[in-house]
Amino acid sequence: MSLCSKLLALLRKSRALTTTSTAAAAAATASATASANGMEEAVAAAGPLRTRVCIIGSGPAAHTAAVYAARAELKPVLFEGWLANDIAAGGQLTTTTDVENFPGFPDGVLGAELMDRCRAQSLRFGTKILTETVTSVDFSARPFRVASDDTVVHADSVVVATGAVARRLHFAGSDAFWNRGISACAVCDGAAPIFRNKPIAVIGGGDSAMEEANFLTKYGSQVYIIHRRNAFRASKIMQARALSNPKIKVVWDSEVVEAYGGGEGGPLAGVKVKNVVTGEVSDLQVAGLFFAIGHEPATKFLGGQLELDSDGYVVTKPGSTHTSVKGVFAAGDVQDKKYRQAITAAGSGCMAALDAEHYLQEVGAQEGKTD
């Protein structure tokens, strides 16, 4: 065979191998695609998840409810959300640093670490946690329907523990000094060493602002209430308490336009305050700035299916976590506009789980119905 003939034979053999390889690759791709489609179809065919208790939330109330429900063998499913209300799973505690008033931690604990521990405890007892945000619910029929973009859960009972988000103001430096002098919870943070015997400012004009300003006088050398109007909207009795306190001074018709520090990487050192009438900007040296302009409960996803009060909080029957719909319970800050503490939220989460368990016993759903 000539050299040319040999080269031609090798070329034909190479083309044959390439064709075979390409065909095999195409077959493998088709097989993988079919397998993936089959898995998706299998998931779809499986239908909604079924549970005795579905918990919506990721803070102390939600995880306490989950621990109690799981230990009662109710096999709870918990939606912890994916950046729900622009906050990571774990709720508002994930936005704080040291938590010093939660029992069991004499040296304090980081807010994020506390919530990691709560989550781990929920998992330990068998809670199924979905990192998805609930977008809709249907409480008009049994079982109740709770849905995210990816998952539908049918539940015999539901615990709503979605919390409430503190309203914040945004101005130059407000994000940079968040948790470094700027806070939205005087009760949580006011006793911190960085505020003791130093001037502090509170922004707001309602009852919450009056209450927090009076509370902060226990620790600060002077407390300023900065209000953008020339009169408070707080109740007369709360105004009287604040205005009669010698350590409180009111800065009327003003708003904060900037927060600044005393050195690179240091905490808050002061704020610039603008008079909304004259336009004059003045400097106010303070070690702390507290937003007291209210909270927004995370209840919009409920679509009006539960009774809410005038501020949007879920209404519960006194002394319980029962809502206006039998079998649906509410715990934590989503139904508490007064205390708003991690420990009170955890306590109401326990109440919600026990209320749900008793409800399921009453309707006969606890035995064999959802296994």
Q: Report the C-alpha gap between 146 and 138 in whole angstroms.
A: 7
Q: What is the DSSP string of 56-78?
A: E--SHHHHHHHHHHHHTT---EE
Alpha helices in 82-166 (DSSP H): 111-124
Q: Which of 98, 116, 138, 185 is catalytic?
A: 185
Of 119, 162, 179, the closest CA to residue 299 belongs to 162
54 is a catalytic site residue:
no
4 is a catalytic site residue:
no
**Helix, strand, coil shares of the chain as percentages rounded to 5?**
35, 25, 40
Q: Which of 188, 207, 336, 355 is catalytic?
A: 188
CB atoms within 10 A of CB 95: 18
76-86 in b/e form (b: 16+ CB < 10 A) is bbbbbbeebbe
185 is a catalytic site residue:
yes
Which whole-number Å values give the CA distances from 121 to 1, 64, 183, 333, in the listed order? 78, 9, 29, 21
Q: Which of 54, 118, 156, 189 is catalytic?
A: 189
Residues marked as catalytic? 185, 188-189
